[in-house]
Structures are given as C-alpha cells and as structure tokens.
Amino acid sequence: MAESNVDDTGKDIWSLISLDKLATAISSLGERIDQLKDDSWRLSEKTKSSSSCWSEVINGLKLDDNEKNRHTLYKVWHGNRHKIHALVDEKKSEIKINKIKEQEGYENNSTCNNSVSEKVIAPLHSEPSLPLPEPRNTRTYQKAITSGNFYERHCIKTEFISLTRIEWKDTYSRTHKKTMPGWTRIFNEKLRSIGNTCSLRFHSACIPSGVRKHNCSDFWFSTACTGDKCQRKYIVSHRRDMDNNLMLLFRVDTYGEENHSEDNIMRPRKISGGERLALGKRANEIGPSATFRELVEAADEDMLVADSTGGVLKPMKEQNDIYIYTIMFKDGIDALDNVPLAHAILTDHTVPGIGYFLGNVIHSVNQVTTKKKLRPPSFIIIDFSAALMNAALQQFNIETVNKHLKRCWNVIHRKYSAENIRSLSYIHLCCCHVMHGIARSLNAEKFEKKTREAVLYIFAYMLCSDDINQLYDTLGLVINIFGDPNEQNAKEKLDKICSLKLNVDEESESVLKDFDKSFRTAEVNEEELKLVDEYFESDEPIIH
C-alpha cells in the first residue's frame, strides 16, 4: 500500500506536472467535474477503484495514485488556487469548439466530394441548469398556486440552444436591425431539438435600439403553443457574442404546463421564407393544380395550412390588403358537398370591384350553358359584409338592399308563388359570421360577460327559429328589456328568456338522445319526413 503522508506541503507537485496539464486532466471528466467535491482524497477500497474521479485525473497525469498526490490536487482544486476553476472552464470550451471544427471540416470535405447535398449542423445538447430559486411567498404567489396558474407565471426549466454564424446571418441582419424572412423556421427547428413538441406561434422579436447596458438582452422573443388548452410558452434571449466567434448561445426559459390531449386542438404553422418561394417556383413549373396534388400526397403537420392571400402576391407600397374571394357550390345537404367554382384575389374591396368579379363569373357560366339566361341560385350565403351584399344583389337580382328587404318581407307573408321565388336569389347571412359580429360589438361596449352570453344566446335562438309569431314575441321582450329605461324587472325577464334552453319536452329529449334510432325507425316505416327548412324548396345549388 502507498505511504500515507499528508503533512507534506505538496510543493513538489509542480515539478512533475504543469498547471495546464492539470486543467486538461480535470476538464476531461466532462459532466462529472461536480463529483470531485464528494470524492475523498483518502485512499480506500472505493476511492482506489476506477470509478474514483481523483484516480482518473491522477492516471491521466501519469502520477502515482497515493494519498500525498491526491491530497495535494484536492487542496489545489477546492482552494481554487492559481484560478484552476477558470482554466478548467476554458479547457471545456476549447474541447467543444474543437468538436464543432472537426464536424464542420468533415462536412466541408463531404460537400467538396459531392457526397452530401445538405449541411448538417452539429446540435449543441441542452444542459440542465441548477435548481431555480423559489419565488417569494407573497399573496400573489399563493393565489397563483391556488388557482392553478403557477406554471404560467414562473419558469419551469432553463436550457440553451446554439446557432452557427451562417444560421445567425440567415436569422438576423445587424445592418438593418431586423429579422430575416424565415427566422421562425430556424428557431422552430432548434426548439424541436431540445424536446419541444408544440406547434408554436412566434411573436415579433424585441430588438432594443441605441446603447444598452451590458446585462441587457440585445435580442429576445417569445413563442407559445397554438393549442387551446396547452399553456406551454418559451422565452428565447441572447446576451452577447461568444469570444470564439463560431457560434451564439441562446437561453430558452420554459413556462406553462404542456397539454397535448386529444381534445386539445393545435393549429399548424404557416409556411414562410424560402419554403414559400420554393412553392411559388414549383407552381410556375408544373402548375398550381399539380403542386397542390403533390402537397396533399406528401402532407405533414407543417404543410396542412398554406397562406393563400399573403403568400401568392406580395403587397406593394400604399396598396390595400390582399383578400381572396371564393365562390362555392353547395349541391346537397351534406357539409362536404362543397365544390369550388371561381376564385379572385382582389385589392379593391368595394362594390364595383367585387361586382366585376361576380359579373365575370356570370358571363363565363352563360358561355357554357345551353340556356339563354342564367338561372340564379336560390340562396347566396355571405359573411357580415355590406359590400358583398350590394355586389351580389346588383349582379344577380339587379336591385338594391332596401328593395331586397321588402321582397323578403313579402316572402314571409306568403305573397309570392313558388315560381316567383325561384326566379330570384335571396341573401342569407352566415350564422357564424353574424354571431361573431354581434359578439365583437358587445365586447366593444364592455358589457358584462353574463350579459354578453345571454344576448348571444337570444340572438342564436332567433336565428334558428322558424316561427314568425314567436320571433315577434322574442323581439318584443328584447326591446322591453334593453330599450325601456323604466323597466324594473329586466334581469328577471332576461333570465326567463335564457331559461328556454332547459324547457325540453320528453319526446324531443328522447329524439336528441337517440337520434340514429329514430331515423332508422322512420326509414323502416317509410315515414315521410316533413322538412320545413327552406333549403329543400329548391333543388338548385347554393352559392356560398
């Protein structure tokens, strides 16, 4: 057994090794450097084994593994003599840089030999940080824990990602102080490399102007999951360039609880940057239809959505917003019976601009039909747009909105025959768009949430009702509740209207619970269904 002599000062150690060799040997431990503080310098069966960190360091220095050398190195490390900790950190950085250089050199050689067509960036694996300190035990903090919003307010973990100089130049322009097109795609790939599984929505990067403090981030942005129930959020920040001038480190702080359950709807990311440009070039080569077919056959979660308006045409200076207008056939009662008829990309969203598009479609249909005059569609379903309504009425019926409202009033009072009704088109507002329009108006007036919900429920009830007398009664109650300043029982009357959703008779309840059974019974008995929906009064397609 080696001699045990701990009284020696250990000055002879530097005659055997240099400080640089010692730093290199310690840095070779990698992530196990922290175990040096728990590894004893005294010799025993455990410390003499190959798993001992000090034994590994001494063997790397080619010294005798005795207590004298172990104790000397132990004092140098734990006393941070000669700034050994800083030297070890520099050696670790050099090791990482050498690995990256070797990888890049291999990639360059492979590229020259045409053996590899794409450059593969060596990923920098994330290193978990030390445990974060607990926040102060304030009332706000306790309230966040009680309400379950703790993870929304406090960082869960911190990781790091790296960008090479080439990637950083493709991401950010220091000359113009702005991000480059496609920067979100680069960061999205980097975040996926550290375990992100969310479909992320990126917010604009924050780039402070002027001279900033040393500790201020010169580039940072936030990104969140597009899922309805997922609260995951990332904040990515960059302080300053690294001294080695090869790569940049970005700190990634993770917030919020991840929830990717089946009922959580995540929206896919839109294509941008080079992918959008490549898509346009491909469409010019083989045509839009063939390009669309290729994308459908090779669809993934990143290609499920394409921005048709902003992606097809770039907006010019002082130009209006670009919108795409689509005319769809709805031939049948099934939700999937929609066939596209015509499209237009317009910057003029006025009645003449939209009317010219509709008139051109009517003229094109007349060229291929055997009839001398176009038979108008039964219904034209549009959104909450006055321009669309006026343009459709001018082109299909050659009438104004006021005249059309009078015509609808006469239809309600059964003053027209079926042939007269079928000779003209009637405007139907999309219920979804109408509800959104009413909701935005109520929200702008800053009504209470319960009042907004009640008004929207009443409005939806009126949209779905087919009894004109019942509609009159409901409208009278609404005017009495919201229009009479002297009404004393407005709240009770409002609750009475909203309680109608609970008044379901037993027969209707049984049908709602087992609709398929009732429908099969009707088919067996060959019962003639009495359809009251006006869509079934005509077999003509509906334009939406």
> DSSP of 311-377, one letter per residue?
HHSPPPTTPPPPEEEEEEEE-SSSTT-EEEEEEEEES--SHHHHHHHHHHHHHHHHHH-SSSSPPPP
Pairing mode of beta strands 233-238, 219-225: antiparallel
Contact between 253 and 158 (Cβ < 8 Å): yes
Q: Is the dihedral of CA 72, 74, 75, 77 positive or negative?
A: positive
Q: For the chain, what percent of residues have pLDDT higher than 70? A: 68
Three-class secondary structure assignment of 226-258: CCCCCCCEEEEEECCCCCCCCEEEEEEEEECCC
Task: Please tell me which residue, 482 or 115, carries the higher pLDDT value.
Answer: 482
Q: Indicate whether 52 pLDDT > 70.
A: yes
Distances (CA, A) of 461 to 382, 429, 491: 20, 15, 18
CA angle 27, 29, 30 (to 5 degrees): 75
Q: Indicate whether 410 pLDDT > 60.
A: yes
> DSSP of 112-153, one letter per residue?
HTTS-SS--PPP------PPPPPPP--HHHHHHHHHT-HHHH
pLDDT class for 153, splitting at 50, 70, 90?
low
The dihedrals phi and psi of 338, each to the nearest 5 degrees, come to -115, 125
Lowest mean pLDDT among 111-115, 133-137, 427-431, 511-515: 111-115
Q: Please tell me the predicted confidence (pLDDT) of residue 436.
A: 82
pLDDT tens, position by position, 60-105:
787 877 778 778 888 888 777 777 888 888 877 777 777 666 665 5
pLDDT class for 3, splitting at 50, 70, 90?
very low
Contact between 541 and 422 (Cβ < 8 Å): no
Q: Indicate whether 526 pLDDT > 50.
A: no
pLDDT class for 356, splitting at 50, 70, 90?
very high
Q: Indicate whether 151 pLDDT > 50.
A: no
Q: Position 498: which residue type?
A: C
Q: For the chain, what percent of residues have pLDDT higher than 90? A: 2
pLDDT class for 314, splitting at 50, 70, 90?
low
Nearest in space to 225 (alpha carbons), one of 193, 260, 251: 260
CA distance 538 to 375: 12
Q: Indicate whether 5 pLDDT > 70.
A: no
Q: Please tell me the predicted confidence (pLDDT) of residue 64.
A: 76
Q: Indicate whether 111 pLDDT > 70.
A: no
CA angle 262, 268, 273 (to 5 degrees): 165
Q: Please tell me the predicted confidence (pLDDT) of residue 527.
A: 44
CA distance 61 to 277: 57
pLDDT tens, position by position, 160-219:
888 888 888 888 887 777 888 778 888 888 998 888 888 888 888 887 766 555 556 678
Contact between 501 and 457 (Cβ < 8 Å): yes
When pLDDT is averaged across residues 308-323 and rounded to a whole number, the result is 65
pLDDT tens, position by position, 216-269:
667 888 898 888 788 888 999 886 654 455 678 888 988 888 888 877 777 767
Q: Where are the domains of the chain?
A: 1-119, 145-255, 322-429+504-544, 431-503
pLDDT class for 126, splitting at 50, 70, 90?
very low
When pLDDT is averaged across residues 10-26 and rounded to a whole number, the result is 75
